[in-house]
Structure 1
Amino acid sequence: MASPSVLAAMTMQVLEAAASLGADVAAIREEAGLEDEWLADPDGRVPLEHHLKMWEILARRGDGLQVGARIGIPALGVIGYAMQHEATVGEALAWQQRVGAVLYPGLVPQLERRRDAAGDYVVFVRAMVPAFARLREPVYAQAAAVAAMMRAIAGAAAKLSFVALPMSRPPDPRAVEEHFACPVAWDAPLLQLGFPAAVLAVPLPRSDPRLFGYLARRAEDMLARLPDGASWADRVRREIAGALAEGEPRLAAVARRLAVSERTLHRRLLDEQTNFAGLVDEARHARALQLLADRSLSASEVAFLLGYAEPAAFFRAFKRWTGETPQGWRKRGESA
């Protein structure tokens, strides 16, 4: 199995951003063990362990917000450039979800639609590695980079509605709260950035179908050439995770995304001692526990975000998973 890696453009842009803030990039590269050949081509790959080491070093500086604000679109390499030439913000983000593994599987936050009494939102959601949450600065950088990416493609329409950070509130949170200029929640179970859902319909000023097609083919070719280090079950899990908020994940749709027939995908999952329905159930179970930890969401809203047509189906499934209702699980968590 190939060692995990990230798109070199990401590492390169982070280093360039740090350099613009006065960091000694040569020293960082040496300490992180980043070899020149890895950074020679933006479309190349950098071993994940060295990319993470770079972030550990950068976290000492305390300028994650400023680094994230400076990376945005360039850190996405060909994916970022292609996104700018899609027709609308929504189409650009949907395409990014499909090819995000080029950057690194799981790095691109999932997209969710949320409707409540306060409004209709599109929300970027990502579970952060605990080590990064402890370092704080990489989480700040991810949040700032998402905001910068949205401003780059949508302009003034990309106005943040809220941010939730999976870390404790610092003694002085003013720098963070002023940076995002919107309500900021602390101690959240997941990193979340919400924008008005209307931003999805905003047309992109640089839309160019031919140029998008050219760049998209390049990105999709890179996706196809990624080392085959993931099991079929892992690939399907990623596709299911991205599809949950859109409704019931379907085997046919996932098979198309993975460029195989339904029969082939079914057989390959059986070879790995699993099946599609079981993986959907597993993903919903894990996601349900994460979403229920957010007290601002009702159980019915969680059911919607998990792709259930009716809350009752979610309540039955949750009782099967845990032996209790969503409300009972929450109450037990409060008293623990």
Structure 2
Amino acid sequence: MSQGNYTVFSETLLQRHSEIFRPYLESVGLSRDVVDRADSEVPLRSYVQLLETTAEHVDPCLGMRIVLGQLSASPTGSYFGAFGHAARSTVDVRAMLNFISRYLVVHAHANELTWYLHGGRVEIHYQLTDPSITRCRQDSEFAMAGLYVSLCQVTGHKFAPLRVDFSHPQPADISLHQQTFRCPLRFNQAINAMIWPAAILEEPLVTADERLFQALQPFLEDQRKRRLADTDLTARISQSIAGNLRAGDVGLDAIAKELGFSPRTLQRRLQEQALEFNTLVEEIRIAKALAYMEDSSRSINDIASVLGYSEASSFTRAFRRWTGLSPRAFRQQTR
């Protein structure tokens, strides 16, 4: 996958649960030694696939159970390294959310957390911004449960969420979700979101440590600049392609113009990252097509249109080339 420039630092997650993850590493293209080092930098797409594959064999609520400490007797602690320690050392929740928004890229490329204040409520949004990653229930639930647990811990459990939204379809069993969040839950939403009372923003953290934060912040700022330089352009190109698929306007010239480059400059920047523009377009189309095919309410004609094909027959030929099956045969097989 050409978008392998996106990476995530495994920190202690894979180490602490090595016996759970080890059997499935090779199936997602990862070497077995990634569970032996806390500083392993893993391709983000492989990491997300590893979570999904392991969950299929071990537990459908794998991401949440890891955060809740239900799968290991190991001592609890941050799965986010220096980034996690610095976040918990900020002065209050507002500062913590601002810190996470700015420095999350240090832990993982193409991860985004934003927050908004609306009429007495704080809305915290989380998403993967790599459009080629479409199956990410475990990552979403790991992130949302991790955010929930962290906010409860650093505020001394003084606040409770008002609602939690997930972008993936509702699982067959949501009893763990209900026991964990204890608030209204919604699935199949546009984005992962958690709603809290606005008063939480000014709450001082019980874990605040100004000296530790001042020691870690310069290091994290250097890491942030390095990682943004590595992948910011790739993210912008990918998002532009995904946003223009329906219009069919995903040629190099059109995307370059939208991003403010000349076609030659964009081509050169892609070559510097060992990326091929046409391959990138096709990978995003394939990922989107497979995600849309899982939604039985979408017709083949509608999917073809959304992906920029003027005729369903053209989409059918492309889909057969990608998967070896026609769209209808693929749906019958997956059912």
* Structure-1-length-normalised TM-score: 0.59
Amino acid at match of 1:196: P
Instruction: Please state whether the residue corresponding to 1:187 is helix, strand or coil.
Output: coil
Equivalent residues of 1:34, 1:50 under 8 A apart: yes
1:8 aligns with 2:10: yes
**Superposed CA offset, 1:116-174 (max 9, x none):** xxxx2222213457887756444332321221222232231342111112233344433
Instruction: Please state whether the residue corresponding to 2:80 is helix, strand or coil.
Output: helix
**Superposed CA offset, 1:204-234 (max 9, x none):** 2232222111111221222233373335595
Structure 1 distance, partners of 2:77, 2:53, is 23
Amino acid at match of 2:61: D
Give the drift of 1:195.
1.4
Equivalent residues of 1:121, 1:194 under 8 A apart: yes
RMSD: 3.5
Q: Of the candidates 47, 52, 62, which is equivalent to residue 48 of structure 2?
A: 52
Give the stretch that moved more between structures: 79-88 or 122-131: 122-131
In the TM superposition, what are the counterparts of 1:125-144 in structure 2 within 5 Å? Answer: 125-127=125-127, 136-144=137-145
Give the stretch that moved more between structures: 129-138 or 184-193: 129-138
Q: Which runs of 5+ in 2 are unaligned?
A: 71-75, 240-258, 266-335
Q: Which runs of 5+ in 1 are unaligned?
A: 239-268, 275-336
The residue aligned with 1:102 is 106
1:29 aligns with 2:25: yes
The residue aligned with 2:190 is 189
1:157 aligns with 2:158: yes
Give the stretch that moved more between structures: 150-159 or 133-142: 133-142
Give the drift of 1:79.
0.9
In the TM superposition, what are the counterparts of 1:1-336 in structure 2 within 5 Å? Answer: 3-9=5-11, 12-13=12-13, 16=16, 18=17, 24-35=20-31, 38=34, 41-60=37-56, 61-64=59-62, 65-70=64-69, 74-115=78-119, 120-127=120-127, 136-226=137-227, 228-231=229-232, 270-271=260-261
Equivalent residues of 1:111, 1:123 under 8 A apart: yes
Give the drift of 1:77.
1.4
* Structure-2-length-normalised TM-score: 0.59
Report percent identity of matched pairs. Answer: 20
Structure 2 distance, partners of 1:169, 1:232, is 34
Distance 1:38 1:228, change over 3 A: farther
**Superposed CA offset, 1:79-129 (max 9, x none):** 1101121111211221121111112234242112122xxxx2222213457
Equivalent residues of 2:106, 2:227 under 8 A apart: yes
The residue aligned with 2:315 is none
